[in-house]
Amino acid sequence: MSEVHSFGIDAIPCHAFNAQRNKVALSPNNNEVHIYQKEGSKWTLNQTLVGHDLRITSIDWAPNSNRIVTCSADRNAYVWSVIDGNWKPTLVLLRINRAATCVRWSPKEDKFAVGSGAKLISICYFEESNDWWVSKHIKKPIRSTVTSVDWHINNQLLACGSTDFKARIFSGFIKEVDKREGEPTPWGGKCATGSLIAEFSGGGGGWVHNVSFSPDGNRLAWVSHDSSISVADANRGMSISTFKTRYLPYLTCVWTTSDLIIAAGHDCCPMLFKYDMSKAELQYVDKVDKSLKKEVDGFSAMRKFRDMDKRAIADNNVSDTQLDTIHQNTITEIRLYSGSKSATDKISTISVDGQMVIWDLKSLEASLKGLRIV
């Protein structure tokens, strides 16, 4: 089952929910952030945040502190806080000379990471003495635009994907915030700020569009533009499992349990993958979208061809451009809507078609019971 919500005809590149999931912040492919409030089964526009000069590229909403962070092609990031009932922006000193492309709060919400076209990542934190947000840069060995970032559950390791075909894990330790380095993880021991922990490639030649840590933080999944999805497993000596699909490239992915990943992109349909931890092997399971249409304008494909054969003519005035999926264009982002990475009940997807779809994974699990994995 799924809920379909339309927000107009403009593409939606990014979105984020508050902790209660009764508000969503999204950008209609411009320099504004629209905050919608859920009223019954509908979303109504509640507030519009204006501060950026160019198109907003990424949004993240901190569930505990209720702060929103946005980044944009104007090379800036803002932290938005509610003051006297209104959202007020605070400029972040990113110190970059190219567009900011992605942003994510750390699990403890005391810092956030911003990827950019400047071939670097800005780790931003609040400096109490000066009352502003400052940043430290992670540069080497990134050689191209950073497309995505994701934090490890320990609040210190940071994964990123970039257009130099690599997925990497860095130390995001900030001594002003973290006080002391965390406990060693399967990825490696204690490391200084910006140290490269690991570097991976799926073996193909595709840009890495998105990265996602597993619930326990011991595996990293990423999707590339060569229509592949990969998983690196720290518990198995950094072994990499890559599955190259026959579908169009994926742009986004997320773990929904300790061994299940959902990816989506240019094929307009979320797809489910399973990582077999005993074999360190990635497998395709099935499509999440089970609403494939069987009739077009009241006529099935079989009926259309039968009628064309009977009449020996084709109706050139009738053109079917509707896809067999709920989303009618590229899916740009997946978010967890209900539950956690270890046990996700619902996810949300947004698309270039201006729609947001909330997918119930519980009903999907029931339909997949006994399904043979291919």
Domain boundaries, the chain: 2-294+326-368, 295-325
Query: 130 and 142 in contact (C-beta within 8 Å)?
Result: no
- What are the φ and ψ backbone dihedral angles of 367, each rounded to 5 degrees? -75, -20
Q: Tell me how far apart the alpha carbons of residues 29 and 8 are, in angstroms, rounded to a whole number.
A: 11
Number of residues in the chain: 374
Q: Which of 12, 25, 39 is nearest to 87 (CA)?
A: 25
Determine the pLDDT at residue 305.
Answer: 54
Quote the tokens at residue 263: 């990816």
User: Could you give the C-alpha distances from 181 to 45, 56, 130, 190, in angstroms and in order?
Assistant: 43, 33, 24, 6
User: What residues of the chain score a pLDDT lower than 50?
Assistant: 294-300, 303, 310-311, 317-318, 370-374
Sheet holding 281-287, edge to edge: 250-255, 260-265, 271-276, 281-287
Determine the pLDDT at residue 221.
Answer: 98
Determine the pLDDT at residue 108.
Answer: 96
The domain defined by 2-294+326-368 carries CATH number 3.20.20.20: no
Q: What residues pair up with 170 in beta bridges, in sequence order?
A: 158, 196
User: Could you give the C-alpha distances from 55 to 15, 268, 326, 355, in angstroms and in order?
Assistant: 14, 23, 26, 19
Q: Write down the residue that tokens 């009764």 correspond to.
A: 22
Q: Tell me how far apart the alpha carbons of residues 202 and 334 are, in angstroms, rounded to a whole number.
A: 21
Angle at 225 between CA 221 and CA 226, to 5 degrees: 95
Q: Tell me how far apart the alpha carbons of residues 302 and 316 are, in angstroms, rounded to a whole number.
A: 17
pTM score, whole prediction: 0.90
Q: What residues pair up with 105 in beta bridges, in sequence order?
A: 112
Q: Tell me how far apart the alpha carbons of residues 185 and 212 are, in angstroms, rounded to a whole number.
A: 17
